[in-house]
């Protein structure tokens, strides 16, 4: 494991938002070609962490290195250069409503390359075929189902042949079959195209299907980081509660019962 | 009492922040129009400018037509009502022409366009803002100002004056109908009087204002859209705010520009 090439290296990342310490000293390495899953409960800071990785937020402390460059200290033009090397799949797909499927996938190519329109058309067809949407070029985004939107979003994310693809909750709002399809796509892409995938998710089935390694975030800190099996057999009670989806455990969801009555009556 | 001062303080602070953000947006827009095409080789997208021109200009012709036609129509009737008393009904022609060219044409067209196009700009960009689409553009290294704001500003900058010219003509035609069919002024004579008193100066002072109005509508619309927060309700709020702000700024700018022309004897 140690001799593999590190793509992204995060050191002591800290961020306070609205008086709350959302990220509290996060350090981790992501290796080339692996599928790395960041999981954790709602509000544990995983989305904030992802936003730092894509350069949308600047940390209060700490560094993120990509190809030996600290992306936390880049100018906006340099960040744009970095962003051309990765793709991102948004939770809501975030396709542009005003464009049809083909133009959505073609958008990064049209904006950042000088390729001929015919070549772009061919590339778009290839990318759409990869996500199983051959022949859907001329539909508007409003005519697509949730799963199709996400697959178009994925096609758009890989349009520029990125080294890295970020996924923000790829399975949210999708039925189990479509989730499995998306998971297979993620695996396929990392195997066929050697893309490094960084996935934020809290869908356990999906996590254990795709992950090479998993980092569990809790209250802004890394609770545990390890291979899929290490996490599955973790002795940490919080990790286990999360994996099994129990309401009882170290993370209490409900307030303790004693003061409930006084809270109801008291005004 | 302390509450009051606190509220005033917060209000002032928010207004100043808004102003600074707005100036920054204008500054960035100017950068992407005039500087970036040369330094960063990011050419303006002609397709999207033309697309916006069609939407903002050509699709607005009918409503501008409607509003200015009836304005000219009503203006002629009201003017005739007064001018009859001094036996100068024939001057309805010049009155309609001059007031449309100098004032009513540009301002009414701008207000109509603010209601139609300004609202559309804010609603479209605003709903992109609340559905992660702006973020997606950012992540794809596509600058939202270059991609969304610049084509809209350029398109409206050229289309609003065109719409105003159409509005002026149509308004004068509305007046002409009253003049000829109701007031029984000879058609040729009506046209003669119109052009006798309407100078080129009247037209270009009127048209020069529309460039300012166009920038106001487009920039306010884009600003409100880009800063939309809070789902569908937020989009509604932003759209209302965009139209109201545009209206107020158009009227203010009109007063300032008219005063400027008036006191410099243009």
Q: What is the pLDDT of residues B52-72, one digit of tens each?
A: 999 999 999 999 999 999 999
Are A97 and B128 an interchain contact pair (Cβ–Cβ within 8 Å)? yes
Are A56 and B138 an interchain contact pair (Cβ–Cβ within 8 Å)? yes
**Within 10 A of B15 (CB to CB), how many other CB atoms are there?**
10
Q: What is the pLDDT of residues B231-266, one digit of tens each?
A: 899 999 999 999 999 999 999 999 999 999 999 875
- Alpha helices in chain A, H assignment, sequence order: 46-53, 76-83, 101-112, 117-130, 146-157, 176-192, 204-210, 228-232, 237-244, 260-265
pLDDT band per the 50, 70, 90 thresholds, residue B101? very high
Question: What is the residue-averaged pLDDT of chain B?
Answer: 93
| Residues of A with Cβ-Cβ distance to B138 under 8 angstroms | 56, 83
The answer to whether position A121 is within a domain reads no
| Residues of B with Cβ-Cβ distance to A88 under 8 angstroms | 136, 139-140
Are B127 and A91 an interchain contact pair (Cβ–Cβ within 8 Å)? no
DSSP 3-state of A69: strand
Find the helix or strand (DSSP H, E) in which A197 lies: strand A196-200
pLDDT of residue B124: 95
Which among B109, B107, B126 is positioned nearest to B221, based on CA atoms? B126
Q: What is the pLDDT of residues B15-56, one digit of tens each?
A: 999 999 999 999 999 999 999 888 877 777 888 999 999 999
**Which member of B133, B136, B141 has the closest CB to residue A84?**
B141
| Residues of A with Cβ-Cβ distance to B225 under 8 angstroms | none
The answer to whether position A166 is within a domain reads no
- Choosing among A84, A94, A109, which should be mutated to test the B contact, i.e. which has the most B CBs within 10 A? A94
Q: What is the DSSP string of B70-92?
A: HHHHHHHHHHHHHHGGGT-GGGH
Are A92 and B139 an interchain contact pair (Cβ–Cβ within 8 Å)? no
pLDDT tens sequence for chain A (267 residues): 456 788 899 999 999 988 888 888 899 999 988 999 998 887 788 888 998 998 888 899 999 998 888 888 888 888 888 888 889 999 888 999 889 999 999 999 998 888 999 999 999 999 999 888 888 999 999 999 888 999 999 999 999 989 899 999 888 878 888 888 889 988 988 888 888 999 998 888 889 999 999 999 888 888 899 998 998 888 888 888 888 888 777 776 665 666 777 778 775
pLDDT of residue A74: 85
**CA B89 distance to own-chain centroid:** 33
Closest-CA distance, A183 to chain B, in angstroms, reads 21
| Residues of A with Cβ-Cβ distance to B137 under 8 angstroms | 96
Are A108 and B133 an interchain contact pair (Cβ–Cβ within 8 Å)? no
pLDDT band per the 50, 70, 90 thresholds, residue B198? very high
ipTM of the complex as predicted: 0.84
Average pLDDT of span B130-147: 91
Torsion B7-B9-B15-B21 (CA) sign: negative
The answer to whether position A137 is within a domain reads no
The answer to whether position A13 is within a domain reads yes
Tally C-beta pairs within 8 A across A and B: 49
Are A107 and B142 an interchain contact pair (Cβ–Cβ within 8 Å)? yes
pLDDT of residue A252: 64
Are A56 and B131 an interchain contact pair (Cβ–Cβ within 8 Å)? no
| Residues of A with Cβ-Cβ distance to B136 under 8 angstroms | 88, 90, 94-96
| Matching residue, tokens 């920039």 | B219
Closest-CA distance, B114 to chain A, in angstroms, reads 21
Are A81 and B124 an interchain contact pair (Cβ–Cβ within 8 Å)? no
Spatial contact of B71 and B100, defined as CB atoms under 8 Å apart: yes
**Structural domain boundaries enclosing A267:** 1-82+200-267
The answer to whether position A97 is within a domain reads no
Closest-CA distance, A80 to chain B, in angstroms, reads 5
pLDDT of residue B212: 97
| Residues of A with Cβ-Cβ distance to B142 under 8 angstroms | 107-108, 111
Q: Can you give the CATH number for the domain in which A15 is found?
A: 3.40.50.300
Spatial contact of A38 and A50, defined as CB atoms under 8 Å apart: yes
Are B142 and A91 an interchain contact pair (Cβ–Cβ within 8 Å)? no
Are A94 and B138 an interchain contact pair (Cβ–Cβ within 8 Å)? no
Indicate the number of domains in chain A: 1
The domain spans of chain B are 1-36, 44-263
Spatial contact of A124 and A137, defined as CB atoms under 8 Å apart: yes
């Amino acid at each position: 494991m140690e001799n593999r090439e590190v793509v992204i290296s995060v050191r002591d990342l800290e961020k306070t938002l609205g008086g709350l310490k959302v990220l509290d000293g996060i350090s981790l390495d992501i290796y080339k070609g692996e599928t790395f899953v960041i999981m954790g409960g709602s509000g544990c800071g995983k989305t904030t962490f992802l936003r730092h990785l894509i350069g949308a937020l600047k940390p209060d402390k700490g560094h993120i290195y990509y190809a030996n460059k600290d992306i936390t200290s880049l100018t906006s033009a340099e960040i744009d250069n970095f962003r051309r090397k990765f793709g991102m799949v948004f939770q809501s797909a975030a396709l542009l409503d005003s464009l049809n499927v083909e133009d959505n996938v073609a958008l990064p190519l049209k904006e950042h390359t000088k390729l001929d329109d015919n070549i772009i058309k061919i590339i778009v067809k290839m990318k759409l075929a990869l996500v199983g949407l051959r022949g859907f070029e001329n539909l508007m985004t409003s005519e697509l189902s949730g799963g199709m939107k996400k697959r178009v979003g994925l096609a758009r994310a890989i349009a520029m042949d990125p080294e890295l693809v970020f996924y923000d909750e790829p399975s949210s709002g999708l039925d189990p079959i479509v989730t499995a399809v998306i998971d297979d796509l993620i695996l396929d892409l990392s195997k066929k195209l050697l893309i490094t995938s960084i996935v934020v998710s809290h869908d356990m089935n999906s996590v254990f299907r795709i992950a090479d390694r998993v980092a569990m975030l809790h209250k802004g800190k890394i609770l545990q980081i390890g291979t899929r099996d290490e996490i599955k057999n973790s002795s940490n009670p919080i990790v286990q509660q999360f994996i099994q989806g129990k309401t009882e455990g170290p993370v209490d969801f409900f307030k303790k019962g004693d003061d409930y009555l006084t809270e109801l009556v008291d005004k | 009492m302390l509450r009051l001062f606190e509220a005033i303080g917060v209000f002032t602070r928010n207004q100043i922040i808004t102003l600074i953000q707005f100036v920054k947006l204008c500054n960035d827009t100017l950068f992407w129009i005039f500087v970036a095409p040369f330094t960063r080789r990011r050419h303006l997208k002609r397709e999207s400018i033309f697309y916006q021109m069609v939407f903002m200009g050509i699709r607005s012709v009918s409503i501008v037509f409607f509003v200015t036609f009836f304005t000219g129509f009503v203006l002629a009737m009201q003017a005739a009502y007064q001018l009859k008393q001094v036996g100068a009904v024939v001057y309805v022609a010049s009155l309609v022409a001059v007031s449309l060219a100098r004032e009513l044409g540009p301002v009414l067209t701008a207000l109509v366009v603010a209601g139609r196009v300004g609202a559309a700009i804010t609603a479209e960009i605003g709903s992109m803002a609340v559905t992660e689409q702006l973020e997606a553009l950012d992540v794809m290294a596509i600058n939202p100002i270059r991609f969304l704001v610049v084509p809209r500003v350029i398109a409206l900058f050229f289309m609003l004056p065109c719409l105003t010219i159409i509005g002026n003509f149509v308004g004068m035609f509305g007046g002409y109908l009253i003049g000829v069919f109701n007031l029984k002024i000879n058609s040729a004579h009506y046209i003669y009087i119109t052009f006798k008193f309407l100078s080129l100066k009247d037209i270009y002072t009127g048209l020069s204002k529309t460039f300012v109005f166009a920038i106001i509508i487009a920039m306010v619309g884009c600003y409100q859209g880009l800063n939309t927060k809070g789902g569908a309700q937020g989009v509604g709020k932003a759209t209302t705010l965009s139209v109201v702000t545009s209206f107020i700024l158009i009227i203010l700018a009109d007063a300032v520009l008219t005063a400027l022309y008036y006191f410099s004897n243009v």
